[in-house]
Amino acid sequence: MPNAPSTPADLDRWLADHDVANLEALNEFLRIPSVSASSERNADTARAAAWLNGALARIGFSSKVMKTPGHPVVLAEWRKAPAGSPTVLVYGHYDVQPPEPLELWTSPPFEPTVRDGKLFARGAVDDKGQLWVHVMALAAHLGARGTLPMNVIVVAEGEEEVGSANLAPFIEENAKKLRCDYIVISDSAMFAPGIPSILSSLRGLAYFEILVKGPAADLHSGMYGGAVVNPATALSRIIATLHDSNGRVAIRGFYERVKPFPAAVLKGMKKLPHSDARFKKEIGVRALGGETGKTTLEKLWTRPTCDVNGLLSGYTGEGAKTVLPSSAMAKVSFRLVPNQDPDVVERLLRSHVQKVTPPGVTATVHALHGGRPWRADLDGLLYDAARRALRAAFGKDPVVVGEGGSIPVVGDFERILGAPVLLVGFGLPGENAHAPDEWISLDNVRRGARAMATLWDEVATRKG
Amino acid sequence: MPNAPSTPADLDRWLADHDVANLEALNEFLRIPSVSASSERNADTARAAAWLNGALARIGFSSKVMKTPGHPVVLAEWRKAPAGSPTVLVYGHYDVQPPEPLELWTSPPFEPTVRDGKLFARGAVDDKGQLWVHVMALAAHLGARGTLPMNVIVVAEGEEEVGSANLAPFIEENAKKLRCDYIVISDSAMFAPGIPSILSSLRGLAYFEILVKGPAADLHSGMYGGAVVNPATALSRIIATLHDSNGRVAIRGFYERVKPFPAAVLKGMKKLPHSDARFKKEIGVRALGGETGKTTLEKLWTRPTCDVNGLLSGYTGEGAKTVLPSSAMAKVSFRLVPNQDPDVVERLLRSHVQKVTPPGVTATVHALHGGRPWRADLDGLLYDAARRALRAAFGKDPVVVGEGGSIPVVGDFERILGAPVLLVGFGLPGENAHAPDEWISLDNVRRGARAMATLWDEVATRKG
């Protein structure tokens, strides 16, 4: 490979020299049980914000803890780059998932412990460890060179694990101050050990509740069965119309706005070392489903879907109760891909449901939640720089991966600040992000810091 | 109408003379809160058995309270008819439904109150009042004539409202003593005021739980949706295959054993003053369902059905949770008509479900409850006698009605004792049998007693 990039020797050296101190600091951060969902942990969550604020100030940032209606945001800035330099924004979160069930942890969740090259702790990978990768990279620049090649803003929120309700308003209110050219977020995973990965797409969401109502009250299924339209049967039949026999969503117009993924991205996905056999074993099924003729990764990352998330009707306790239920409810959600729109999907679903609902029952569709899909423009300067930086640190070209779920803040940042977002994660499959024994690979922490330190050089160079 | 029957004058006179005393006695019976489902009412339930036992002894029966593993059975016998006389068995129950919610009663449930010709009390129609109709009829014979034209056995159980678990074993154990030629049960309703009714069919039941299992644990619907077969979707699709577009059950072989109802019975049903508009209003729907081309009464009384009684899967609380559930459960039951067999239906359902279950999930079928359908042979002596007796007391030919639900004891009596069962009820639509403000028409109590008193003469005459 011509012109293979390498990580800058001065930054590498600084990181190597400060390796123990940096990991000790991360351990301090991980010891604070900043569980945003537990109000009895509010003092700890505030303590984590204060700790991070202090850490960013120590490396040379102007940092403050900013109030929100919920947990505070840590906002740190370094703006001493020469005029005309670009500005980058790094986002992460200092709150963590609840650690329960505690008995399933091999070592206590808030006592960071290294086993087999992995650092175990709640928040190790989600997201304190990955946020710390960025702090290390920034510290390397300021420590080794006393400067950064661009202006940098760090935004760390404390509510990511409880829905980020106050983040978008915070960005809106502080849009001027947060104005930037590039946004970088590390809160995801690499495809496999040793394979640096750029997350280039997120699916959107359109989540509904469908309520089918029949008779005014529950009826005796013996006395009335056979003459009354059964709401649970009707709901099942409605759900059965949502897919065709090829696993495609059978709502008219559903695929109309789907913009195919670039051929190169699809080709790249096919080359990834994915094993359906391992995937099936991991989730405990004998066969996979979904659209015929698509690979698993294609289905998960690039295709829209429809899933039933919940069903409730009639009698669900033990044994037999002969009730003809007066109503039946389903939670039904769609994962969306660019350029699908949750509002359009809502309209299409409403019209579909009305069309297939039999007389004798009524069906109503309540929209519960929606989020737009996201896809990166892989051709920009930021992505070129990221590819070189990751190759330099990991010795391998990064792969492009997708994510079937949603990270709503990505869309918020891009929409409000108008800057492209780079999602580059240093977790790994099996990292137990929301489960007991959460861990991050120490090798990834170290290589990640070298990669991110290199990234800033790459961005600045290319800009110049 | 030639040879119009009339009720015997001596019995009528005795009933008229003892009308006040008979209703006072019924009120005493109704005041005892014999709620079989409430263990704190066990003393009251025992008291009702003792009271009934005393009442039957007073009119000349040899009566005793017989222990069972649950509430006792009152068994009363009068066996002084001439040799060669037939024996009839009258069945009823002295236990009642719980009265709750008490606040919805106009007068207290255990303080019998007459309003507008209706006697209101818990148990008024189900079944103390109807059982008392028989006691009055038997008392009329013994009071007016000092004798009965046949041997009579009265069996009154105290567990009908909790499933009659100990009745079939009781009949089995005492089969010799209970040997009889005819069985009469009054625990049902007339089709409409003034229209005496013979209940000629009951539907059977085959009740199942279908459990569809997919991934070993709940998955995130974003991360996995689109590649994994969703158990809730799969269950809905399975349920959707249970009916065809004409509302018929679409399980191969399901109708194979269905023996059509006699043309005369179907013709009679078509003549009954049924209004679909009123039926729809009563249950609160705009349109009815079920098999196309059948009338409502035909569907309810003569046709087998399939109903979903319950659905449960995934997240069913408020709001949106993006879960791809690991399993989904449905309670599904079939109402059966002669000569369908719950065991055969179980076999057919199992094979159907296996056939329509997609790879990627497994479906298991658990049988929860089964009961055979029942149909009377309307041509026998007992039914001829009943038609004459009802016409004599009500001034109108009885109609033949069906019942969509099941009364399992009917099949038990017929099977164990080998005698035909006559179901003749004196309740009325809207009687609130299991609801607040339960009532029975006093006119029906009086005419019912005259009819049943006449019935014994008719049976004895025809036998002779």
User: CATH number of the domain that A350 lies in?
Assistant: 3.30.70.360
Whole-number mean pLDDT of chain A?
Answer: 95
Chain A CB contacts of B296 under 8 Å are 227
Q: What is the CATH number of the domain that holds A174?
A: 3.40.630.10
Q: Which of A151, A9, A22, A161 is nearest to A97 (CA)?
A: A161
* CB spacing of A361 vs B300 below 8 angstroms: no
Q: Positive or negative, the Cα torsion across A297, A301, A307, A309?
A: positive
pLDDT at position A198: 97
Binning pLDDT at 50, 70 and 90, where does residue B3 land? low
**What does the buried/exposed string (b/e) look like for B79-105 if buried means 16 or more CB atoms within 10 Å of the residue's CB?**
eebeeebbbbbbbbbbbbbbbeeeeeb
- Tell me, yes or no, whether B353 and B209 share the same domain: yes
User: What tokens appear for B8 in the block?
Assistant: 């015997």
A389 and A322 part of one domain: no
Residue of B nearest to A315 (CA): B310
Examine the domain organization and report whether A314 and A349 are in the same domain. yes
Dihedrals phi, psi of B405, to nearest 5 degrees: -90, -170
- Cβ of B309 and A323 within 8 Å? yes
Give the amino acid at B169: P
Same domain, B112 and B244: no
Interface list for B 375-404 with A (CB within 8 A): 403-404
Of A430-434, A444-448, B309-313, which gets the smallest average pLDDT?
A430-434
CA distance B110 to B107: 9
Comparing CB atoms, the residue among B228, B323, B335 nearest residue A225 is B335
What single-letter amino acid sits at A294? K
pLDDT digits (tens, 9 = 90+) for B222-279: 999 999 999 999 999 999 999 999 999 999 999 999 999 999 999 999 999 999 999 9
- Residue B405 with chain A: CB contacts under 8 Å: 220, 222-223, 322
Phi, psi angles (nearest 5°) of residue B4: -60, 125
Selection from A235, A244, A302 nearest residue B226 by Cα: A302
Name the residue in chain A with its Cα closest to that of B287.
A360
Q: What is the pLDDT of residue B175?
A: 97
- Bridge partner residues of B308 (DSSP): B332
pLDDT band at B150 (very low <50, low <70, confident <90, very high): very high
Q: Residue A274 domain-assigned?
A: no
Q: Give pLDDT, residue B428.
A: 96
Contact at 8 Å (CB) between B60 and B153? no
Please state the rounded mean pLDDT for residues B34-57.
Answer: 97
Beta-carbon separation of A368 and B319 below 8 A: yes
How many Cβ atoms from other residues are within 10 Å of residue B192's Cβ?
A: 14
HEC secondary structure over chain B:
CCCCCCCCHHHHHHHHHCHHHHHHHHHHHHHCCCECCCHHHHHHHHHHHHHHHHHHHHCCCEEEEECCCCCCEEEEEECCCCCCCCEEEEEEECCECCCCCHHHCCCCCCCCEEECCEEECCCCCCCHHHHHHHHHHHHHHHHHHCCCCCEEEEEEECCHHHCCCCHHHHHHHCCCCCCCCEEEECCCECCECCECEEEEEECEEEEEEEEEECCCCCEEHHHHECCECCHHHHHHHHHHCCECCCCCECCCCCCCCCCCCCHHHHHHHHHCCCCHHHHHHHHCCCCCCCCCCCCHHHHHHHCCEEEEEEEEEECCCCCCCCEECCEEEEEEEEEECCCCCHHHHHHHHHHHHHHHCCCCCEEEEEEEEEECCEECCCCCHHHHHHHHHHHHHHCCCCEEEEECCCCHHHHHHHHHHCCCEEEECCECCCCCCCCCCCEEEHHHHHHHHHHHHHHHHHHHHHHC
* Residue A276 included in any domain: no
Q: Tell me A3's DSSP state.
A: T
Residue whose structure tokens are 């010795």: A395
CA distance A117 to chain B (A): 27
d(CA A271, CA A274): 8
Q: Does B287 touch chain A (CB under 8 A)?
A: yes
A chain contacts of residue B233, beta-carbon cutoff 8 Å:
239, 242-243, 306-308
Cβ atoms of residues A426 and A445 within 8 Å: yes
Chain centroid offset of residue A173 CA: 23
Per cent of chain B over pLDDT 70 is 99
Residue A267 near residue A362 (C-beta atoms within 8 A): no
Q: How confident is the model at residue B406 (pLDDT cuts 50, 70, 90)?
A: confident
Residue B122 has pLDDT above 70, yes or no: yes
Instruction: Note whether A317 and A407 are same-domain residues.
Output: no
Average pLDDT over residues B63-80: 98
When pLDDT is averaged across residues B90-118 and rounded to a whole number, the result is 96
Domain count for chain B: 2
pLDDT at B1 over 90: no
Residue B32: inside a domain: yes
Say what the pLDDT of residue B407 is.
85
pLDDT 10s digits, B336-376: 999 999 999 999 999 999 999 999 999 999 999 899 999 99
- Copy the structure tokens of residue B374: 């029942």
Whether residues B224 and B365 share a domain: the answer is yes
User: What are the chain B neighbours of A216 within 8 Å (beta carbons)?
Assistant: 283-285
Q: What are phi and psi of B210, to 5 degrees?
A: -110, 125
| A463, pLDDT greater than 80 | no
Same domain assignment for residues A363 and A454:
no
Instruction: Give domain status of residue A268, yes or no.
Output: no
End-of-domain residue from the set A371, A398, A414: A371
d(C-alpha B145, C-alpha B8), whole Å: 12
Does A102 lie at the interface with B, CB-CB under 8 angstroms? no
Q: What is the pLDDT of residue A132?
A: 98
On the question of a cis peptide bond just before residue A8, with omega within 30 degrees of 0, the verdict is no
- Helix (H) or strand (E) run with residue A236 in it: helix A231-240
Write down the pLDDT at residue A3.
Answer: 61
Q: By three-state DSSP, how is residue A374 classified? A: strand
CA angle A276, A280, A284 (to 5 degrees): 175
Answer for the pair B371, B406: CB distance below 8 angstroms, yes or no. yes
Q: Looking at residues A48-64, what average pLDDT do you find?
A: 98
Q: Which of B305, B355, B303 is nearest to B332 (CA)?
A: B305
Distance of CA A266 to the CA centre of its chain: 21
Instruction: With cut-offs at 50, 70 and 90, classify the pLDDT of residue B71.
Output: very high
CA–CA dist A447, A453 (Å, integer): 10
Element (H, E) at A47: helix A42-58
Q: Tell me, what's the pLDDT at B2?
A: 46
Within a domain: B3: no
CA distance B433 to B426: 12
Q: Which of B305, B313, B319 sits opposite A225 (nearest CB)?
A: B305
In a domain, A363, yes or no: yes
For tokens 């639900």, what's the residue? B405
DSSP letter for each residue of A421-445: EEEE--B-TT--TTSSS-EEEHHHH
- Tens digit of each residue's pLDDT (9 = 90 or more) over A338-363: 999 999 999 999 999 999 999 999 99
- Mark yes or no for CB contact A313/B316 under 8 Å: no
Q: Given pLDDT bands bounded at 50, 70 and 90, which one contains residue A163?
A: confident
- CB contact under 8 Å between B311 and A311, yes or no, is yes
The one-letter amino acid at B224? Y
B218 touches chain A (CB under 8 A): no
| Closest approach of B318 to chain A, Cα-based (Å) | 9
> Do B49 and B88 lie in a common domain?
yes
Mark yes or no for CB contact B240/A242 under 8 Å.
Answer: no
Q: Which of B371, B402, B428 is the last residue of a domain?
A: B371
Q: Does residue B355 lie within any of the structural domains?
A: yes
Q: Do A228 and B309 touch (CB under 8 A)?
A: no
Q: How confident is the model at residue B146 (pLDDT cuts 50, 70, 90)?
A: very high
Are B243 and A233 in contact by the 8 Å Cβ rule? The answer is yes
Q: Does B175 share its domain with B33?
A: yes
Strands (DSSP E) found in A339-447: 362-371, 374-375, 399-403, 421-424, 439-441
* Cβ–Cβ gap B312/A312 under 8 Å: yes
Give how far B19 is from chain A: nearest CA, Å: 34
Per-residue burial over A283-310, b if 16 or more Cβ lie within 10 Å, else e, is bebeebbbbeebbbbbbbbbbbbbbbbb
Question: Among A97, A311, A431, which would you mutate to test the B interface (most chain B Cβ atoms within 10 Å of its Cβ)?
Answer: A311
In chain A, the N- to C-terminal Cα span, in Å, equals 24
**DSSP labels, A136-199:** HHHHHHHHHHSS-SSEEEEEEES-GGGT-TTHHHHHHHTTTTT--SEEEE--SB-SBTTB-EEE
Residue A92 banded pLDDT, cuts 50, 70, 90: very high
The answer for residues whose C-beta is within 8 angstroms of residue A198's C-beta and 6 or more apart is A376, A378, A383, A386, A387, A390, A398, A399, A400, A401, A422, A423, A424
State which amino acid sits at residue A232.
Answer: A
Give phi and psi for A144, each to the nearest 5.
-80, -35
Cα-based distances in Å from B455 to A293, A311, A425, B388: 74, 53, 88, 8
Mean of pLDDT values over A26-34:
98
pLDDT in tens, B130-141: 999 999 999 999
Tokens of A187: 């809160």
Distance CA A28, CA A355 (A): 59
Q: pTM of the predicted model, to two decimals?
A: 0.90
**Contact with chain B for residue A299, Cβ under 8 A:** yes
Among A371, A400, A415, residue at a domain's last position: A371
Token pair 């009917």 is found at B410
Q: Which domain holds residue A116?
A: 9-202+373-463
User: What average pLDDT does this structure show over B319-327?
Assistant: 92
Whether A464 shows a pLDDT value over 80: the answer reads: no
Indicate whether this complex's ipTM tops 0.85.
Answer: yes
Q: Measured between alpha carbons, how far is B422 from A201 in angstroms, rounded to an integer? A: 72
Residue B209 half-sphere exposure toward CB, CA atoms < 13 A: 17
Note whether residue A289 is domain-resident: no
Task: List the single residue in A226, A322, A335 with the smallest CB-CB distance to B222.
Answer: A335
Q: Clarify whether residues A225 and A184 are in a common domain.
A: no
3-state secondary structure of A105: coil
Two structure tokens written together for B122 = 């818990």
Q: Do A352 and A449 sit in the same domain of this protein?
A: no
Candidate from B224, B233, B289 with C-beta closest to A283: B224
B68 touches chain A (CB under 8 A): no
Local confidence band at A1 (pLDDT 50, 70, 90 cut-offs): very low
Q: Which of A225, A307, A331 sits opposite B225 (nearest CB)?
A: A307
**Closest CA in chain B for residue A286:** B360
Co-location of A162 and A96 in the same domain: yes
**List of chain B residues whose C-beta atoms are within 8 Å of the C-beta of residue A233:** 239, 242-243, 306-308
Instruction: Using the predicted structure, report yes or no on whether residue A240 has a pLDDT greater than 60.
Output: yes
